[in-house]
Amino acid sequence: MRVLVIEDDADAAVFVRRVLSEAGHTVDLCSDGETGLHRAREGEYDALVVDRMLPKLDGLALVKRYREVGGRAHALFLSALGDVDHRVEGLKAGGDDYLVKPYAPSELVARVEALGRRAPGEMPVTRLFVGGLEMDLLARTVTRDGQKIDLQPREFRLLEFLMRHAGQVVTRTMLLEKVWDYHFDPQTNVIDVHVSRLRGKIDKDFVKPLLHTVRGAGYRLEA
């Protein structure tokens, strides 16, 4: 993929370029909103990675103007502003995804590559469903059969990954890399503990279990 990163913090921009380049993508950098808008309009990019707080033209205005002139590259906002209202603002401005700082490098790569798999102009997924289990990615809420389920941030990430791979066997290695950003086995029971806690929250008070252990392989979430 060809990616334009629009970020005024030089260290952060170099970091993002390195992470995406190591994943095999071609990355260009811009340090202000006006230049970024011009480059986005003139270049043939698959994705834009846009910081919200930019000099000359802020990220929201940049993406909104880009959409108004027919720009079709998918846009991922990066921001330390992470509450629900801020994420909604980003999507309403024309963004396709929103990643809150600080973030794991593997998640940045995964989100950019997920944008690349969408057709131009395709709407982002903001809700996930498995049976009666529903996750709202914007409001960061989870319900099952209308009953609210309170999750800790790591539990939310774990469940999101499982829901995005519903019906598939998810291995411990996949969870370590994608949820914990570990690229080695820490030789602890951290996954077992979190899966057990998550199972207690999403399955305990319901007749049918959703989260299943696949002996010798990993876990599978399915209705």
Query: Tens of pLDDT along 78-106?
Result: 988 878 888 888 888 889 899 988 888 99
Task: Report pLDDT for 89.
Answer: 87
Strands (E), 72-180: 74-79, 97-100, 127-130, 133-136, 141-144, 147-149, 170-171
Is the pLDDT at 8 greater than 90? The verdict is: yes
Is the pLDDT at 119 greater than 80? The verdict is: no
Location of each CATH 1.10.10.10 domain in the chain: 127-221
Location of each CATH 3.40.50.2300 domain in the chain: 2-116
Strands 97-100 and 74-79: parallel
Query: Who has greater pLDDT, 69 or 198?
Result: 198
Region of 119 (left: φ > 0; alpha: ψ -120 to 50; beta: rest) is: beta
Lowest mean per-residue pLDDT among 39-48, 54-63, 83-92, 152-161: 83-92
- Spatial strand order in the sheet of 141-144: 127-130, 133-136, 141-144, 147-149
Read off the pLDDT of each residue in 44-59 and give the average, rounded to a whole number: 92
Is the pLDDT at 219 greater than 60? The verdict is: yes
Is the pLDDT at 118 greater than 80? The verdict is: no
CB proximity list for 211: less than 8 A, separation 6 or greater = 162, 195, 198, 199, 202, 203, 219, 220, 221
Three-state SS for 63?
helix
* Other beta carbons within 10 Å of 15: 15
Query: Tens of pLDDT along 121-158?
Result: 555 667 889 989 999 887 889 999 999 999 998 999 99
Q: CATH assignment of 2-116?
A: 3.40.50.2300
Residue matched to tokens 């490098």: 105
Query: Helices (DSSP H) in 126-189: which residue ranges?
Result: 153-164, 172-178
Q: CATH assignment of 127-221?
A: 1.10.10.10
Helix (H) or strand (E) holding 198: helix 190-202
Residue pair 76/98 in contact by the 8 Å Cβ criterion: yes
Query: Tens of pLDDT along 158-215?
Result: 999 999 899 999 999 899 888 888 877 777 889 999 999 999 999 988 999 999 999 9
Task: Report pLDDT for 124.
Answer: 62
Which amino acid type is present at position 178? K
Task: Report pLDDT for 27.
Answer: 94
Helix (H) or strand (E) holding 30: strand 26-30
Residue matched to tokens 């980003």: 90
